[in-house]
Structure 1
């Protein structure tokens, strides 16, 4: 599938919940199938994550035809005490970029990571 990142073995910096939220922030009408492919998760895992995010008030959805439109609550504060006071909007401002930034070469001196 075009635009789907290659899988990566080992640990990563972000949780699956953060990844799903970032994909939804990029596309509020994304299908679960597409979210799963982009996050390299199963559709069932994405359904569970969305349910978690909705249950705790970070996300809601409305049914539109055969699909969903998601709404993120940007002012909601992150759950972990280490991120006390950090909002969803602040997190997403770091994670969500337009495609030109994702595919652009890293800036000199950043080590490319």
Structure 2
């Protein structure tokens, strides 16, 4: 019966793919190990998700020294047919706007 803790199912609205994309949107220089620690997955899982996002055209890595810097193709549409008319920019803006809502600008 899925992942159950204390009698409650432990599901969420956002997938780990969405969470990885959002962490990269927040910091294009973030390391895979930092992504993994922040969202609570293994480094191997985080690397696999970064690879998925790159292969699907959502991310473009650029090597700078020993690190990757990521560019996001925010105009790329969601993959599922019911959201395919929406760019991932909408998700990114929704969550990164929340991060900056309290900062004076």
TM-score by length of 2: 0.83
Higher normalized strand content (fraction of residues): 2
Structure 2 counterpart of 1:75: 75
> Residues 65 and 18 (structure 1 numbering): CA distance in 2 closer, same or farther, change over 3 Å?
same
Distance 1:86 1:100 in 2: 23
Distance 1:66 1:38 in 2: 21
Structure 2 counterpart of 1:92: 92
SS class of match (2:82): helix
Deviations 1:61-81 (A, max 9, x none): 011111110010011011001
Deviations 1:40-84 (A, max 9, x none): 110000100000001010111011111110010011011001102
Moved >6 Å (runs of 4+): none
Structure 2 counterpart of 1:109: none
Structure 1 counterpart of 2:64: 64
Q: Quick check: 1:45 aligned with 2:41?
A: no
**What is the RMSD computed on CA atoms of the aligned residues?**
1.6
